[in-house]
Amino acid sequence: MCVKLGAIVGAAVMAFAGIGLILFATVCPAATNDTGIVRSPGRGTTLPSCLVSLIEEAEVPAQEEGVLYELAVREGSQVSKGQMLGRVNDRAVQFKKQLAESAYRAAKEKSENDINVRYSTAAAKVAEAAYDSALEANKRYPNAVGPSEVRRLKLEAERTRLQIEQSQVEQKLLVHDLVGKAAELEAADEAVRRHHVLSPIDGEVVELRRHAGEWVSAGQPVLRLVRLDRLRVEGFINGANVDPSTVIDRAVLVEVETARGQQRTVSGRVVYVSPLVQAGEFRVWAEVDNVKENGLWRIQPGQSARMTIE
């Protein structure tokens, strides 16, 4: 009787446990993030207290002093590296650049003009022919051409040969002058560029420090840029549980909770593991690709995050 009762109780317990597992699986499925990645409980190493931070930012200064003639961006503008964001009064340097361009074009035309060389070559051929004709005439008819005339013709032939060399030297000097004019033009072009406020990175304008019409000094910040499409997530790992050599270049999943309790996730990869251990922990950071949703970035610098190293 007792054996039968025990069997019945055991069967009831197993049945109840099975129902509980089914209910748990229904109510608590595997965690799914908004990138479509399914993460099973207990998978990888989770760092609960991480910080999202910037990788690149820049205070963009004016390189020359003057009136800020133009500011082509505003807060929220997306800019590319090398893009002109503003312009300090550059009228004077623009005039100098025009003069340098004109001088360069003139020097280029002169350096490519070989008329003197070709003329000297042709004149030398004529003078050589006249001298040879005189010698030939004297061979056939002695003293047909007087000695003084022969010497004059010989000297003329020699002079025209030297004139070819002179023309070639002058041509080389014109090429050297062209190199100098090219350097002057490059310097003038650089002076113009220094009056332009250029973006040093791909990023977003988050603050304007000066506005069009204001005076700026050399080195004075005009605006601030940050890069938000790629961010850093930093955290600490217990060195007693994880070998640092197994973490580098591992894929990560980063989760950030918004003010409304929603989970936002991005993925990336561990790019740095600190060689220093502090209080038994070592610092790691991953770089993650950020995206915009409805005009807003999915995660922002300064947010706390949970990072799982896969």
Torsion of CA 263, 269, 274, 279, to 10 degrees: 30
Domain 60-87+196-224 in CATH 2.140.10.10? The answer is no
Sign of the Cα pseudo-torsion (237, 239, 244, 250, in order) = negative
Sign of the Cα pseudo-torsion (140, 144, 150, 152, in order) = negative
Torsion of CA 88, 92, 94, 95, to 10 degrees: 170
Distance of CA 74 to CAs 68, 157, 209, Å?
A: 14, 74, 11
The answer to whether the beta carbons of residues 55 and 213 sit under 8 Å apart is no
Half-sphere exposure of 76 (CA within 13 A, CB side): 4
The answer to whether the beta carbons of residues 174 and 168 sit under 8 Å apart is no
pLDDT at 37: 35
Distance of CA 223 to CAs 73, 77, 83, 94, Å?
A: 10, 11, 14, 24
pTM score over 0.85: no
Where do we find the tokens 């069009």? Answer: 212
Q: Under DSSP, is residue 87 helix (H, G, I), strand (E, B) or coil?
A: strand
Q: Domain locations in the chain?
A: 1-29, 33-55+227-309, 60-87+196-224, 91-194
Q: Which residues does residue 284 pair with via DSSP β-bridges, in sequence order?
A: 235, 273
The answer to whether the beta carbons of residues 13 and 195 sit under 8 Å apart is no
pLDDT at 43: 57
Domain 33-55+227-309 in CATH 2.10.109.10? The answer is no
pLDDT at 39: 41
pLDDT at 95: 96
What does the alpha-carbon distance between residue 104 and residue 184 come to, in Å, rounded to a whole number? Answer: 8
Distance of CA 262 to CAs 40, 257, 258, 306, Å?
A: 19, 6, 5, 13
The answer to whether the beta carbons of residues 44 and 188 sit under 8 Å apart is no
pLDDT of the chain, 310 residues: tens digit per residue: 433 434 443 444 344 344 343 333 333 344 434 333 334 444 578 999 999 999 999 999 999 999 999 999 999 999 999 999 999 999 999 999 999 999 999 999 999 999 999 999 999 999 999 999 999 999 999 989 999 999 999 999 999 999 999 999 999 999 999 999 999 999 999 999 999 999 999 999 999 999 999 999 999 999 999 999 999 999 999 888 888 888 999 999 999 988 777 889 999 999 999 988 888 899 999 999 999 888 889 999 999 999 999 8
Helix orientation angle between 147-194 and 115-140, rounded to the nearest 10 degrees? 170
Helix, strand, coil percentages, rounded to 5, for the chain: 40, 30, 25
